[in-house]
Chains A and B, each alone.
Chain A
Amino acid sequence: MIQNVSAAWFVVTRLARDRSALIGLVLIALLVLAAVLAPVLATHPDDVFELHPSERLKEPSGAHWLGTDRMGADVYSRLLFGARITILIGVIAVGASLALGVPIGLVAGYHHGWASDLLMRVSDIFLAVPQVVLAIAIAQTLGPSLPNVILALSVTYWPWFARVVYAETRALQKEVFVESTTALGASPWRLTVLHVLPNIASPIIVRASIGMGFTILTAAALGFLGLGPPPPTPEWGRTIAESREFLPDAWWYAAAPGVAIFLTVMGFNLLGDGLRDVLDPRLRRSAARDG
């Protein structure tokens, strides 16, 4: 446990040296903070449910920092609560993809036969399905809701993990320590769980971070199309959809969730890139860069 904490700290400090990764880290931290502390940070926490038609479409002011929407609700507060939904979707969808994709990748990578080929072809099939189209299909049959969005996203994102894990497992099999641990008498189970998995954790983590950005963007698109959680849930994509008819006058209505989505996705992408740089060449000695 201790070695994991110190390893994590090492990663964070190295990450901090890379400016763009640092920006990513800060953005994600802000997102999480906004989500967790939404009730505290929101100026009008009840506006998630309450309506104030008299206040509708007011400009940003001292009372309403980002203006109000068509129902008179405070845009800023709804934005904060929307962050919760965003994170929820991202975490669960990526988590489910991980839980499905990683074991499949491990099994396909370890075996060398028809089973492995079959698994990878199945993952190819799922990769070929466009996420949005599938989400529409699911929404049509099962109705638009938060769980259905998550379902659509998980079902189409797991192959990315399977692929990465498959490639890394195959590459790792050529490493001497894998062969030698087998020669020592280790069972395939022990090898895979205790040796292969920790060694391929880095690419998985990087993929997960980038996947979060990708998933959140797609979730926003689904919300925009009306396939996500129904109103009054302050989901960012849906908010943008609602704001359409009031543009360009009530610019704050679309700008706020738009910028929020942009910053969130960029944050995860920057973090993912930074992690990739930190986690892989960590053990490589490099000639010092010329100052």
Chain B
Amino acid sequence: MSAPAAPLLELVDLARHFPVRSAFGRRVGWLRAVDGVSLQVRPGETLGLVGESGCGKSTLGKTVMGIYPPTAGEIRFAGREIGRLPRRARRAVAKDLQYVYQDPGASLDPRWKIGPSLHEPLRIHTRLTRTERDREVGAILAAVGLPDAHLDLYPHELSGGQQRRVGLARILTLRPRLVILDEPTSGLDVSVQASVLKLFRSLQETFALTYVFISHDLAVVRAMCAGIAVMYLGKIVECGPTTRVFEAPRHPYTQSLLAAVPRIGGRRVTADFALEGEPPNPRDIPSGCRFRTRCPLAQARCTAEEPSLRPLDGRTVACHFA
């Protein structure tokens, strides 16, 4: 096998903390939404980022995107550290690194027609003439499967699915290299979800995109992502090739997560579902291993020492006893 390509996106111990303030504005603690995450995404890959609410995956996406400044750690994009850039330089990175909201249609200004909305990214970042921009926009519209006639319509005159495609098109006009997809299929019907996923696949081929796919839907992640990282309370607990992690999860949380997914056909999974309780409040993270309060394997060492990610069986796991 040839040497692996340099990662397009690399996170080194990235952290994002939010201050928790009392009624009088005094800071009484920290909400450690992202608390030391390291991972790598290679060009052309699709990395799935999964976890339940409160695990920090959305915050991670927004921090990488620059919507939140990082509290600690590094974000390296194409070899360049971008987490601490001044505002104007950071804005220029948007050309290569983009972010798709759960509802891309909502990212459109409702008072702007589609045409100007699609031209806008080009007007911000390039010096193309009107004709050149028209050509670019036309190409992108075709790539997402929308007719030219839509350029003259307002967002509310399009269906939800069409708005979604326009939202994607707007980002693609910049020809980004990496796109962060934040819960792109959440709340969608299964049949609509299928067409959206197919669209993502075809766009990835057409535009040579790299994806970071944030989702809580494990079935979707399994179908779309070659690699997967599982998050719990701000840290990655298991990370590796999707097939390996799904076939034989090593971290107790991953095991519970996969066991909880309802499956069609066969035995009822919930009949044996064993994980009790709820995740602790992110403002009050347990010492040592964060999962120890619910983990069937927890022992004294788990309270004292926080496990770090170590390689095991073709992936990395953060557990003392996996």
User: Interface residues, chain A, CB within 8 Å of chain B?
Assistant: 3, 175-177, 179-187, 190, 195, 198-199, 283
Q: If A3-B113, A185-B92 touch, does A177 touch B106 (CB 8 Å cutoff)?
A: yes
Q: Is the CB of A185 within 8 A of B101?
A: no
Q: How many angstroms from the CA of A185 to the CA of B109 in the assembled complex?
A: 15
A-B residue pairs, 3 tightest by C-beta: A180-B107, A185-B94, A176-B106
Instruction: Identify whether the interface residues of A are mostly helix, strand, loop, or mixed.
Output: helix
Q: Is the CB of B99 within 8 A of A183?
A: yes
Q: Is the CB of B109 within 8 A of A177?
A: yes
- Contact of B101 (CB < 8 Å), options: A180, A182, A187: A180
- Contact of A184 (CB < 8 Å), options: B94, B106, B111, B156: B94
- Contact of B109 (CB < 8 Å), options: A183, A187, A195, A283: A195
Q: Is the CB of A283 within 8 A of B101?
A: no
Interchain nearest-CB distance for A118 vs B (Å): 17
Q: Is the CB of B121 within 8 A of A199?
A: no
Q: How many angstroms from the CA of A190 to the CA of B94 in the assembled complex?
A: 16
Q: If A176-B101, A176-B106, A180-B101 touch, does A186 touch B111 (CB 8 Å cutoff)?
A: no
Q: Which residues of chain B come closer than 8 Å to A186, judged between CB atoms?
A: 91, 120, 124
Q: If A3-B113, A198-B111, A199-B111 touch, does A184 touch B103 (CB 8 Å cutoff)?
A: no
Interchain nearest-CB distance for B77 vs A (Å): 14
Q: Which residues of chain A come closer than 8 Å to B67, judged between CB atoms?
A: 179, 182-183
Q: If A190-B124, A283-B156 touch, does A183 touch B98 (CB 8 Å cutoff)?
A: yes
User: Is B170 interfacial (CB-CB < 8 Å)?
Assistant: yes
Interchain nearest-CB distance for B7 vs A (Å): 22
Which residue of chain A is the closest to B113 with respect to CB atoms? A3
Which residue of chain B is the closest to A190 with respect to CB atoms? B124
Q: Is the CB of B106 within 8 A of A183?
A: no
State which residues 163-197 of B face A: CB under 8 Å.
167, 170-171, 174
User: Is B292 interfacial (CB-CB < 8 Å)?
Assistant: no
Q: How many angstroms from the CA of A138 to the CA of B171 in the assembled complex?
A: 55
Which residue of chain B is the closest to A283 with respect to CB atoms? B156
Q: How many angstroms from the CA of A15 to the CA of B109 in the assembled complex?
A: 24
Q: Which residues of chain B come closer than 8 Å to A179, judged between CB atoms?
A: 67
Interchain nearest-CB distance for B119 vs A (Å): 12
Q: Which residues of chain B come closer than 8 Å to A176, judged between CB atoms?
A: 101, 103, 106-107
Q: How many angstroms from the CA of A180 to the CA of B110 in the assembled complex?
A: 13
Among A175, A184, A195, max chain B CB count under 10 A is at: A184
Q: Is the CB of B109 within 8 A of A184?
A: no
Q: How many angstroms from the CA of A262 to the CA of B110 in the assembled complex?
A: 38
